[in-house]
């Protein structure tokens, strides 16, 4: 008997195969980007309805290619600059873009087909929102500063410096960082009266790693230099299986991308390089004033450090890590223990009058560039994030805010 394949059935089969291929590609990437679809939605919400005048064009650092300051595929590094105005003409924010990491040749090669590995795929215009906004109502303290976003395409928090002959991949994050800052100094930042180095997620880690290096660029100048790390406080903790998933992952990054030589010497003089890629081992040695903005229930760390798929083969944590209301009592206890470790990690850091702190109890990740969280909620003791960062930067008040444990804070904007 001859079987006839209906056109609709063939179409359904093709769609299923296409879906499977896309899923396989996502799984194959494995660049510690779980929840990326949710965060893409979050970014879309953050820029929805944005006025056209905050779309900022890209600039390529073509002149730095000969110095090796290139993305993983050898394309030029890039940045976006929205010039300051009025009283903000001599003040600068340098924001280091985040976007995960990669830890082996296969996953890094995958990223060269995206904006995180090649400037060929970078948006030619991006929206500046939150701390990067030019709107005085949304961003009262920094709206008229020169605001710069340095694009992220090295996959090691701007810290690697090597070349893989076997794959042809460039790991030149440190060179991108140095060349970008030198270029910005040459076009006016050298005469800045105030500067702030900021970053979110992998960019937040980069802001911590490079904070004192940034300060050194202004040595001998009468410039106020400070740093802000948003969602960059990644902890070296035990996961739900008793292993250390993130430590293993970071070890691969540090080794493969030649990161060790660019880590803070105040840490590497007594700890191994992998340990010095973790902020908890760096922050106490940073001399430049720094502000840590973080959620005590950072959703990226819950999904990828505490309960990654490899540590949860039975899927017991699958519901919890994407929906806080689905967590059982023992899972909540595990998350509360994580919060306690985060609070303990900043105890010495918070003792410095020059440092600032805002650790809330929201299930979130990156809060400085999302308008709803930057100048809205959450709040700790009736003070939001924008006001807290501004008070700290300008010395209006000391800010050492640590929220009470979940679920006490009803001002949160949870993303899971």
Query: Domain range holding 173?
Result: 46-402
pLDDT in tens, 79-110: 999 999 999 999 999 999 999 999 999 999 99
Q: Is the dihedral of CA 114, 115, 120, 125 positive or negative?
A: positive
| CA distance between the termini of the chain | 53
* Residue of 249, 165, 155, 170 whose CA lies nearest to 202: 155
- Which residue among the candidates 154, 230, 298, 403 is catalytic per the annotation? 298
Q: Is residue 20 part of a domain?
A: no
Q: Is residue 4 part of a domain?
A: no
- The structure tokens 């105005």 sit at 85
State the pTM of this model.
0.89
Find the mean pLDDT for residues 302-328. 97
Q: Is residue 37 part of a domain?
A: no
Known active-site residue 365: yes
Cis status of the peptide bond prior to 101, with omega within 30 of 0: no
Query: Which pair of tokens denotes residue 310?
Result: 């490899």
Q: Tell which phi-psi region holds residue 74, choosing left (phi > 0), alpha (psi between -120 and 50) or beta.
A: left
Q: Is residue 26 part of a domain?
A: no
- Which residue among the candidates 42, 201, 295, 368 is catalytic per the annotation? 201
Q: How far is CA 200 from CA 84, 207, 266, 324, 348, in A?
A: 22, 8, 23, 23, 23
Q: Is residue 303 part of a domain?
A: yes
pLDDT in tens, 341-398: 999 999 999 999 999 999 999 999 999 999 999 999 999 999 999 999 999 999 999 9
User: In which band, very low, low, confident or very high, does the pLDDT at 34 lie, cut at 50, 70 and 90?
Assistant: very low
pLDDT in tens, 262-289: 999 999 999 999 999 999 999 999 999 9
Residue 3 has pLDDT above 80, yes or no: no
Query: Which pair of tokens denotes residue 92?
Result: 């600068």
Q: How many separate domains does the chain show?
A: 1
User: In which band, very low, low, confident or very high, does the pLDDT at 54 lie, cut at 50, 70 and 90?
Assistant: confident
Q: How far is CA 90 from CA 36, 216, 288, 389, in A?
A: 36, 18, 20, 19
CATH number at residue 62: 3.40.50
Q: Is residue 416 part of a domain?
A: no
Stronger pLDDT, 26 or 370, i.e. the higher one: 370
Residue 20 has pLDDT above 60, yes or no: no
- Which residue among the candidates 80, 183, 365, 414 is catalytic per the annotation? 365
CB 159 within 8 A of CB 259: yes
Known active-site residue 201: yes
């Amino acid at each position: 008997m001859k079987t006839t394949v209906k056109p609709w059935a063939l179409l359904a089969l093709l769609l299923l195969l296409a879906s499977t291929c896309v899923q396989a590609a996502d799984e194959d990437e494995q660049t510690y980007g779980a929840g990326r679809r949710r965060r893409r939605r979050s970014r879309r919400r953050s820029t929805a309805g944005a006025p056209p005048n905050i779309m900022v064009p890209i600039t390529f650092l073509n002149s730095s290619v000969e110095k090796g300051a290139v993305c993983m595929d050898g394309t030029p590094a890039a940045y976006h600059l929205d010039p300051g105005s009025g009283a903000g003409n001599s003040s600068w924010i340098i924001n280091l873009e985040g976007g995960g990491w990669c830890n082996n040749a296969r996953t890094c090669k995958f990223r060269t087909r995206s904006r995180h590995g090649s400037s060929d795929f970078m948006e030619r215009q991006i929206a500046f929102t939150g701390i990067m906004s030019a709107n005085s109502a949304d961003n009262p303290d920094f709206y008229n500063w020169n605001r710069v976003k340095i694009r992220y395409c090295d996959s090691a928090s701007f810290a690697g410096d090597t070349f893989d002959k076997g794959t042809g991949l460039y790991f030149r994050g440190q060179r991108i960082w140095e060349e970008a800052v030198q270029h910005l100094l040459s076009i006016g930042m050298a005469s800045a009266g105030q500067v702030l180095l900021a970053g979110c997620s992998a960019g937040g880690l980069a802001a911590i790693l490079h904070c004192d290096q940034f300060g050194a660029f202004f040595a001998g100048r009468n410039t106020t230099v400070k740093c802000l790390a948003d969602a960059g406080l990644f902890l070296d903790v035990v996961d739900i299986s008793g292993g250390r998933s993130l430590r293993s992952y970071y070890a691969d990054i540090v080794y493969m991308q030649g990161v060790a030589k660019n880590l803070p010497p105040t840490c590497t003089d007594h700890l191994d390089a992998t340990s010095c890629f973790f902020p908890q081992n760096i922050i106490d040695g940073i001399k430049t004033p720094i502000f840590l903005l973080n959620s005590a229930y950072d959703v990226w760390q819950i999904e990828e450090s505490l309960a990654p798929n490899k540590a949860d083969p039975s899927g017991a944590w699958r519901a919890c890590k994407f929906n806080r209301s689905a967590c059982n009592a023992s899972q909540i206890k595990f998350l509360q223990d994580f919060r306690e470790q985060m609070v303990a990690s900043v105890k010495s850091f918070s003792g410095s009058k020059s440092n600032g702190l805002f650790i809330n109890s929201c299930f979130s990740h990156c809060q400085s560039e999302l308008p709803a969280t930057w100048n809205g909620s959450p709040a700790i003791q009736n003070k939001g994030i924008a006001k807290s960062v501004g008070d700290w930067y300008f010395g209006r008040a000391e800010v050492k805010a640590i929220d009470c444990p979940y679920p006490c804070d009803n001002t949160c904007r949870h993303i899971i």
